[in-house]
């Protein structure tokens, strides 16, 4: 039986973000919004990275942001390392005749395209390149020292999180050289607005976008914000160099939209649905982006296509793309604010290009939007979401078996996440990581104006899809006060990281009990002092 084993606070507070797994252990979350934060016009999309082993979040800054926007004085030493790293990748500019060569070098066929620096000071190029023979990364923690055990350690780090033990070696590099070198510019972008131009390098902050992984890199498409509107530019993020690249594509580019879905199948990204900004319409079309040819095309499909919709989910199992949920409208493709929530499962055969309505049976979930969906071991799972017609948020978990076409409502061990929508879920190593989203705050305002009755979330929950006997036994022991006391006493002899991970997996409330006891003891000492 599946078990919710971890529940922690302290991560990025984000809603309508998009996330992807890069590598075996790092979950990248891109963008989204927080209703309590004011984004500056033209600001770039933010990136947060979760280590799936330590449950630590990091704020990652792209190399373009670091070098183009400046950095606080306390981070200049680390920035120096990134500058040298760029020199090592691109090599020094040798003379003025090389300008055209540098400008032509950033091509799709160039595997080093993501290094963005052009050296404008040959006098320091040689010593800088010599000092940067190995990749260097940056890391700055805003939370040094002991942390509250009940929360995740949140790091504001400007570095490559995949190389956490590397240190910057800047011995022998004079400060004068660093200041002069830091005056370089991004190749071919003199005077460009990096965040507002249509063909920008760094995507502007947004929500309702999608991110998929291919070839070890993240591909971001779509999304919108209130200032810049929706976007149809395809961006790629390289987690090794922390660099963005705006891709030149061919073919029929889908109209800019948000609330669509995107999946990867056999070297192609398949985009379905969403809300098109220019025509102010819901979509029911399917578009395909071929990674090898960098070409967009609209898929010509047959069969019973799903109704126009946005904020649905899609997963690929075998050679079929299964689409569930989303917000439809009583006016079809046009938005009248009269929502319709379709509970039917649709499937697109990616070989025959034919849609069908799946004849599902069992405990069928109600129609919903802004939910999460993931697949594991050949089955599809749906969590949470919102039904605007009923004004209901959900925190239920359903399983769909495409072989039997049966829905099953799952009962899980542990404490499930609260009711929510617009969250992210990522699967890795038989675990589901669920984070962020927004939930109703439970006040009377919910019925009057639901938009002002939501609380944005910063929590992290982990669902063990195949919990071990050890985990289940430890949790059973922790259910009694005597058992918790015994476990705390024995685990004091374990290393800190192992002890914290074990206690989080057994029962996060154990931390709360321990912290409450510590606070009570501290208050008693203060009163007697």
- Mean of pLDDT values over 78-94: 39
User: What is d(CA 441, CA 438) in angstroms, rounded to the nearest whole number?
Assistant: 9
State the pLDDT at residue 219: 99
Q: What angle do CA 65, 71, 72 make, to 5 degrees?
A: 155
Query: For the segment 267-310, what is each residue's pLDDT rounded down to a tens digit?
Result: 999 999 999 999 999 999 999 999 999 999 999 999 999 999 99
Instruction: Name the pLDDT band for 479 (thresholds 50, 70, 90).
Output: low
Tokens of 60: 């990652």
Question: Helix, strand, or coil here: 326?
Answer: coil
State the pLDDT at residue 206: 96
User: What is d(CA 182, CA 229) in angstroms, rounded to the nearest whole number?
Assistant: 33
State the pLDDT at residue 151: 38
Question: Helix, strand, or coil here: 325?
Answer: coil
Instruction: Name the pLDDT band for 452 (thresholds 50, 70, 90).
Output: low
Query: For the segment 255-272, what is each residue's pLDDT rounded down to a tens digit?
Result: 999 999 999 999 999 999
Chain-centre distance of CA 160, in angstroms? 16
User: What is d(CA 506, CA 414) in angstroms, rounded to the nearest whole number?
Assistant: 9
Instruction: Name the pLDDT band for 480 (thresholds 50, 70, 90).
Output: low
User: What is d(CA 6, CA 10) in angstroms, rounded to the nearest whole number?
Assistant: 13
Q: What angle do CA 386, 390, 391 make, to 5 degrees?
A: 55
State the pLDDT at residue 484: 62
User: What is d(CA 32, CA 138) in angstroms, rounded to the nearest whole number?
Assistant: 24
Q: 60, exposed or middle or buried, with CB in 10 Å at 0-12, 13-18, 19+?
A: buried
State the pLDDT at residue 167: 38
Unique residue bearing structure tokens 């938009």: 451
3-class SS letters over 146-205: CCCCCECCEEECCCCCCCCCCCCCCCCCCHHHHHHHCCCEECCCCCCCCCCCCCCCCCEC
State the pLDDT at residue 70: 53
**How many Cα atoms occupy the beta-carbon half-sphere of 75 within 13 Å?**
20
User: What is d(CA 487, CA 470) in angstroms, rounded to the nearest whole number?
Assistant: 13
State the pLDDT at residue 66: 75
Higher pLDDT, 70 or 39: 39
Percent of the chain with pLDDT over 90: 54
Q: Check if the beta carbon of residue 467 is closer than 8 Å to that of residue 413.
A: yes
Question: Helix, strand, or coil here: 506?
Answer: helix
Percent of the chain with pLDDT over 70: 60
- Mean of pLDDT values over 415-439: 97
Q: Check if the beta carbon of residue 433 is closer than 8 Å to that of residue 54.
A: no
Please state which of the ranges 89-98, 231-240, 410-419 shows the lowest mean pLDDT.
Answer: 89-98
What does the chain come to in residues? Answer: 529
Please state which of the ranges 169-178, 205-214, 284-293 shows the lowest mean pLDDT.
Answer: 169-178
Query: For the segment 191-204, what is each residue's pLDDT rounded down to a tens digit?
Result: 444 554 444 588 99
State the pLDDT at residue 489: 67
State the pLDDT at residue 76: 39
38 has pLDDT over 50: yes
What is the DSSP-derived secondary structure letter of residue 464? E
124 has pLDDT over 80: no
Highest mean pLDDT among 102-111, 207-216, 494-503: 207-216
């Amino acid at each position: 039986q599946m078990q919710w084993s971890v529940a922690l606070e302290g991560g990025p507070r984000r809603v309508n973000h998009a996330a992807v797994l890069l590598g075996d252990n790092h979950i990248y979350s891109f963008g989204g919004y927080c209703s309590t934060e004011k984004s500056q016009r033209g600001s770039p999309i933010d990136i947060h990275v979760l280590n799936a082993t330590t449950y630590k979040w990091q704020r990652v800054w792209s190399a373009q942001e670091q070098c183009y926007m400046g950095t606080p004085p306390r981070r200049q030493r680390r920035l120096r390392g990134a500058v040298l790293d760029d020199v090592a990748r691109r090599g020094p500019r040798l003379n003025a005749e090389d300008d055209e060569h540098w400008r032509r070098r950033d091509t799709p066929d160039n595997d080093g395209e993501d290094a963005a620096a052009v050296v404008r000071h040959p006098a320091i190029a040689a010593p800088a390149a010599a000092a940067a023979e190995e990749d260097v990364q940056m890391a700055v923690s805003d939370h040094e020292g002991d942390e509250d055990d009940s929360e995740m350690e949140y790091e504001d780090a400007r570095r490559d999180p995949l190389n956490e033990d590397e240190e910057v070696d800047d011995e022998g590099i004079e400060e004068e050289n660093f200041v002069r070198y830091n005056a370089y510019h991004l190749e071919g972008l003199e005077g460009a607005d990096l965040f507002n131009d249509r063909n920008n390098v760094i995507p502007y902050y947004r929500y309702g976008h999608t991110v998929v992984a291919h070839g070890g890199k993240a591909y971001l498409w779509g999304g919108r914000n209130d200032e810049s509107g929706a976007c149809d530019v395809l961006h790629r993020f390289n987690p090794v160099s922390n660099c963005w690249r705006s891709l030149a594509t061919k073919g029929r580019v889908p109209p800019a939209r948000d609330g669509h879905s995107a999946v990867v199948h056999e070297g192609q990204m398949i985009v379905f649905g969403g809300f098109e900004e220019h025509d102010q319409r819901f979509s029911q079309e399917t578009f395909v982006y071929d990674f090898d040819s960098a070409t967009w095309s609209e898929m010509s499909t047959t069969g019973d296509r799903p109704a126009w919709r946005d904020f649905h989910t899609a997963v690929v199992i075998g050679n079929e793309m299964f689409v569930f949920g989303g917000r439809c409208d009583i006016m079809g493709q046009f938005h009248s604010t009269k929502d319709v929530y379709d509970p039917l499962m649709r499937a697109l055969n990616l070989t025959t290009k034919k849609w069908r309505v799946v004849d599902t049976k069992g405990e069928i979930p109600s129609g919903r939007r802004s939910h999460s969906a993931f697949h594991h071991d050949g089955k599809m799972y749906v969590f949470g979401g919102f039904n605007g017609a009923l004004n209901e948020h959900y925190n239920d978990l359903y399983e769909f078996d495409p072989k039997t076409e049966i829905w099953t409502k799952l009962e899980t061990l542990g404490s499930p996440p609260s009711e929510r929508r617009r969250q992210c879920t990522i699967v890795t190593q038989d675990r589901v990581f669920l984070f962020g989203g927004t939930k109703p705050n439970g006040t009377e305002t919910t019925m009057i104006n639901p938009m002002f009755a939501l609380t944005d979330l910063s929590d992290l929950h982990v669902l063990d899809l195949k919990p071990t006997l050890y985990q289940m036994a430890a949790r059973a022991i922790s259910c009694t006060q005597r058992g918790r006391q015994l476990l705390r006493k024995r685990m004091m002899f374990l290393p800190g990281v192992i002890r914290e991970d074990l206690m989080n997996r057994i029962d996060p409330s154990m931390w709360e009990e321990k912290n409450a006891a510590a606070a009570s003891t501290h208050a008693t000492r203060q009163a007697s002092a």
